[in-house]
């Protein structure tokens, strides 16, 4: 009976994880598809994405059976970081291809969280240092002049997006109610969105297709996607969660080929192997430290 219950839990976790990772990758594909074809401008895309995501998340919060007396209202700092992540993400995809953008953002997330660990006193093993060096080398190779090298502006913006998401994740590590905090952080990002729209008002343009893509990104792949991810995290260790997220750039690159008509370059493949290989060494290093302690 216990074995049967464990099998069901594993099956649900695998399903939730796959759906969540697909949602993360879909965000890259949808954003790139909307901005490459200029179906909508980045500022309006970001605004529709976060506001529609907030509405879905708040609805899910009030439909849940959690104790409403313990609701967290999020924080303004997290709301601003969330806004910065989403805005930089959108503007970066004006020039970056889908797989390249996903690789940069998830690489930046990992580097941010590693840096935070070092600052707070964590001592890295030899494997982890090798992983850092290999990942940084992969980014340098990706940025070398030549065919398919990403634009400097796109790289910087997507790096800012990744750093922001890394900081947002760090701030949410001790969250008692991640769904609830995320919903209110989405709402707290709204004033910053209004400020963005004020400064880019003259550039605002959107087609029906662009608005629908932004709504799809906000409600399904962001709002519901994040919720499914929290469901998966209940049964995943932090190391397992780190490992499975390595598949997002791969899924995003495949989605870019299928839906956006992009080509996968040798430079992207080699850089991906270097960066993801470096992150894998980091995970091995953390596992060995925990095993020995």
Say how far apart CA 32 and CA 182 lie, in whole Å. Answer: 24
Say how far apart CA 18 and CA 126 lie, in whole Å. Answer: 32
Cα angle 242-248-254, degrees, rounded to a multiple of 5: 155
- The confidence score (pLDDT) of residue 159 equals 94
Query: Averaged over 109-137, what is the pLDDT?
Result: 79
Q: Does 218 have pLDDT greater than 60?
A: yes
Residues shown for the chain: 293
List pLDDT tens digits, range 78-105.
899 999 999 999 999 998 988 888 888 8
Q: Does 4 have pLDDT greater than 70?
A: no
List pLDDT tens digits, range 178-197.
778 888 889 999 999 999 99
- The confidence score (pLDDT) of residue 121 equals 80
Burial bucket for residue 148 (CB in 10 Å: 0-12, 13-18, 19+): middle
- Is the four-CA dihedral 112, 75, 230, 239 of positive or negative sign? positive
């Amino acid at each position: 009976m216990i074995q049967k219950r464990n099998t069901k839990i594993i099956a649900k976790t695998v399903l939730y994880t796959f759906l969540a990772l697909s949602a993360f990758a879909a965000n890259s594909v949808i954003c790139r598809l909307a901005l490459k074809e200029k179906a909508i401008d980045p500022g309006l895309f970001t605004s529709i994405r976060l506001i529609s995501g907030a509405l879905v998340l708040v609805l899910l919060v009030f439909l849940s059976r959690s104790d409403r007396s313990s609701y967290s209202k999020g924080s303004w700092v997290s709301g601003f970081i969330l806004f910065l992540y989403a805005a930089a993400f959108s503007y970066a995809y004006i020039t970056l291809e889908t797989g390249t953008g996903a690789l940069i953002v998830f690489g930046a997330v990992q580097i941010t969280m590693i840096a935070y660990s070092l600052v707070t006193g964590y001592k890295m093993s030899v494997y982890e240092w090798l992983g850092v060096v290999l990942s940084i080398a992969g980014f340098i190779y990706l940025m070398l002049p030549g065919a398919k090298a990403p634009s400097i502006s796109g790289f910087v913006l997507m790096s800012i997006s990744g750093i922001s998401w890394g900081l947002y994740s760090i701030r949410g590590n001790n969250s008692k109610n991640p769904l609830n905090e995320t919903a209110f952080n989405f709402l707290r990002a709204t004033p910053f969105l209004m400020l963005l729209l004020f400064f880019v008002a003259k550039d605002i343009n959107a087609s029906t297709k662009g608005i629908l893509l932004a709504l799809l990104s906000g409600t399904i792949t962001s709002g519901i996607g994040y919720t499914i991810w929290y469901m998966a995290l209940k049964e995943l260790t932090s190391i397992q969660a780190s490992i499975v997220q390595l598949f997002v750039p791969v899924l995003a690159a495949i989605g870019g080929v299928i839906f956006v008509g992009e080509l996968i370059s040798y430079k992207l493949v080699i850089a991906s192997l270097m960066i993801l290989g470096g992150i894998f060494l980091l995970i091995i290093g953390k596992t060995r430290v925990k095993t020995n302690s």
